[in-house]
Amino acid sequence: MRTWARRGDHVVVVLPRGAAILEGIETAARQSGIASGAFVGLGAIEDPVLAWFDREAKEYSEVAFEGVWEIVNL
């Protein structure tokens, strides 16, 4: 279960281990009635996959990392 709380103009979101980051942010924004904004984050992720679109190759590429990694800024 995800938890979130509104603090003035801010929404604080806490995601449980294994939760999808983007999905959690989108759900909290939708439930809070937020149409646009910016977000910051920190915490840890386990076995992340970094993906990006290669415009020259016109395809997505990705690199997987094993273990627990700290997010110092998101």
Q: State which residues form the domain around 62.
A: 42-74
Both 21 and 6 in one domain: the answer is yes
What is the 8-class DSSP label of residue 55?
T
Q: Are residues 54 and 28 in the same domain?
A: no
* Shared-domain flag, residues 49 and 32: no
pLDDT above 90 (res 47): yes
Domain count across the chain: 2
> Model pTM greater than 0.85?
no
Asked whether residue 12 falls in the same domain as residue 35, the answer is yes
Asked whether residue 50 falls in the same domain as residue 69, the answer is yes
Instruction: Over range 46-58, report the average pLDDT.
Output: 94
Asked whether residue 74 carries a pLDDT value surpassing 50, the answer given is: yes
Q: What pLDDT digit, counting tens, does each position of 3-42 carry?
A: 667 778 888 888 888 888 889 888 888 888 888 989 888 8
Q: How many residues does the chain have?
A: 74
Measured CA distances, 16 to 5, 21, 45, 74 (Å): 15, 10, 10, 17
- What pLDDT score does 62 carry? 96
Distance CA 18, CA 39 (A): 20
